[in-house]
Amino acid sequence: MTTNQNASNASADTAAVIDGVALSAKLREDITRRTVALKARGVTPGLAVLLVGDNPASAVYVRNKVKACADSGLHSVLERYAADMTEAALLARIDALNKDPSIHGILVQMPVPAHIDANKVIEAIAPEKDVDGFHIASAGALMVGQPGFISCTPYGCMKMLESIGYDLRGKHAVVIGRSNIVGKPMAMLLLQKSATVTICHSATQDLKAMTLQADVIVAAVGKCNVLTADMVKPGAVVIDVGMNRNPQGKLCGDVDYEAVRQVAGFITPVPGGVGPMTITMLLVNTLESAERHL
Catalytically annotated residues: 65, 109, 132
- Full strand arrangement of the beta sheet holding 196-200: 7-8, 16-18, 266-267, 237-240, 216-219, 172-176, 196-200
| 260 and 227 Cβ atoms separated by less than 8 Å | yes
- Which of 94, 97, 274, 284 contacts ligand NAP by CB under 6 A? 274
Q: Which of residues 212-241 bind ligand NAP (CB under 6 A)?
A: 220-223, 226, 241
Distance (Å, rounded) from C-alpha 136 to C-alpha 127?
8
Q: Cα–Cα distances in Å, from 8 out to 19, 37, 174, 186, 233? A: 7, 32, 24, 24, 20
Q: Which residue stretch of 21-29, 72-80, 127-135, 200-208 sits at the interface with ligand NAP (rule: CB under 6 A)?
A: 200-208
Q: Pick out residues in 124-163 that bind ligand NAP (CB under 6 A).
A: 153
As measured in angstroms, the least distance from the Cβ of 207 to ligand NAP is 5
Give how many residues touch ligand NAP by CB under 6 A. 26
When asked if residue 207 is in the footprint of ligand NAP (CB under 6 A), the reply is: yes
**What's the closest the beta carbon of residue 81 comes to ligand NAP, in angstroms?**
22
Query: Which residue in the shown chain puts its C-beta closest to ligand NAP?
Result: 179
185 near ligand NAP (CB under 6 A) = no
Helices 56-72, 20-40: axis angle to 10 degrees equals: 50
**How many helices (H) does the chain have, and how many strands (E)?**
10, 12
Rounded to an integer, what distance in angstroms lies between the CA atom of residue 235 and that of residue 16? 10
The residues binding ligand NAP (CB under 6 A) are 153, 176-179, 181-183, 200-204, 207, 220-223, 226, 241-244, 274-275, 278
